[in-house]
């Protein structure tokens, strides 16, 4: 199915930190709720899940991150498009504290396209996982994002960048090989340009 971004309605996406030590069946088993599991690199539908999670400060309705998709971000995600096609207006995605911090950084990159953020290698790898989990559409905006992401990453370290990225192609559970190929292609182009201007 082909989705046109300008024809989509909007969906409100809330990312909420979970309390890993407390379990409560009373609040979790509802539709439109998912758990971001970085161990399996997937979104678990809480309505059908055997696992139970409780948001931190649930009674105060604390929400750590909220975005309006696709209005506020530059990339298109098949997962969220499918939710919109189901005529749902909002979803909640639970995440552990560390994962939520990385998600906040990721959404900043998507919102502020002209900003210059250096991206450390560990966060860079997490972002690649998000692209697979949410099933990013590999369009023109995606290509631009990948170029910017590679540039931000090599600002920290170019020496072992290609070696580390190449290893990821063996891990199809966590990473998409198409994304890895796009990353390597961008890196090689950056190196070629750098060598050309250094002559």
Q: Are 18 and 55 in contact (CB under 8 A)?
A: yes
**pLDDT tens sequence across 44-94:** 887 765 555 555 544 444 567 899 999 999 899 999 999 999 989 999 998
Query: Beta strands 54-55 and 11-19: pairing type?
Result: antiparallel
* Angle, in degrees to the nearest 10, between helices 121-133 and 177-198: 140
Looking at the structure of the chain, the number of domains it has is 1
Closest CA to 107 of 84, 126, 82, 88: 126
**pLDDT tens sequence across 113-162:** 656 667 877 888 899 999 999 999 999 999 999 998 888 887 666 666 76
Domain span at residue 44 reads: 5-198
Q: What does the block give as tokens for 154?
A: 């090599």
**Cα separation of 157 and 108, whole Å?**
22
Q: What does the block give as tokens for 34?
A: 């998912």
């Amino acid at each position: 199915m082909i989705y046109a971004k300008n024809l989509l309605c909007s969906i409100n996406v809330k990312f909420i930190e979970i309390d890993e030590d407390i379990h409560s069946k009373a609040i979790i088993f509802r539709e439109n709720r998912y758990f971001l599991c970085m161990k399996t690199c997937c979104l678990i539908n809480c309505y059908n899940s055997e696992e139970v999670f409780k948001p931190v400060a649930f009674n105060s309705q604390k929400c750590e991150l909220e975005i309006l998709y696709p209005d506020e971000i530059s990339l298109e995600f098949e997962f969220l498009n499918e939710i919109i096609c189901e005529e749902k207006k909002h979803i909640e995605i639970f995440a552990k504290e560390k994962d939520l911090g990385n998600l906040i950084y990721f959404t900043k990159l998507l919102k502020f396209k002209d900003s210059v953020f250096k991206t450390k290698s560990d966060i860079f790898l997490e972002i690649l996982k998000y692209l697979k989990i949410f099933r990013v559409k590999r369009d023109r905006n995606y290509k631009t994002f990948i170029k910017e992401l590679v540039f931000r990453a090599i600002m920290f370290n170019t020496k072992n960048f290609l070696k580390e990225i190449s290893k990821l192609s063996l891990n199809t559970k966590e990473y998409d090989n198409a994304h890895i190929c796009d990353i390597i292609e961008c890196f090689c182009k950056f190196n070629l340009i750098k060598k050309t201007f250094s002559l």
